[in-house]
Amino acid sequence: MNRKTQTKRPAKCFRRGLSSGAAKGNGVVMLTGAKTYFGRTTELVQEARPKLHIEAVVAKIVRWLFVIVGALLGVVIVLSVIRHVPLMEMVRSCSSCS
């Protein structure tokens, strides 16, 4: 079987999907990751994943826990200012209560 040799000048580029049988060659990777055809496809598939109900519930619970922790931290700071007690001493006294 007579195979035709395909040569390219350095300034020209092959496109995706090029395959060669038993030939050898040198190549330069031009794009990787999200800039490639397969990378964009992967990103679209990941974005198209439906959000599960449990994910929404957990996110809501975590959001409320952050609000509670922030409020308690605010109370400790306000109490340390009102009582003229250093903040670290308030934290130490709170940790020894438990």
With respect to residue 70, please indicate whether it lies within any of the assigned structural domains.
yes
Tell me whether residue 26 is in a domain: no
**How many structural domains compose the chain?**
1
- Among the residue ranges 25-34, 48-57, 83-92, the one predicted with the least confidence is 25-34
**92 assigned to some structural domain:** yes
Decide if 24 is inside a domain. no
| 47 assigned to some structural domain | no
Domain range enclosing 87: 53-97
Instruction: Classify residue 3: in a domain, yes or no.
Output: no
Of 34-43, 48-57, 89-98, highest mean pLDDT: 48-57
* Interval 25-36 mean pLDDT: 69
Answer yes or no: is 80 within a domain: yes
**Residue 52 tokens, joined:** 């599960």
Domain for residue 86, yes or no?
yes
Confidence of residue 90 (pLDDT cuts 50, 70, 90): confident
**For residue 59, is pLDDT > 90?**
yes
Q: Measuring CA to CA, how many Å separate 8 from each of 3, 5, 14, 19, 21?
A: 16, 10, 8, 14, 17
Residue 54 — pLDDT band, cuts 50, 70, 90? very high
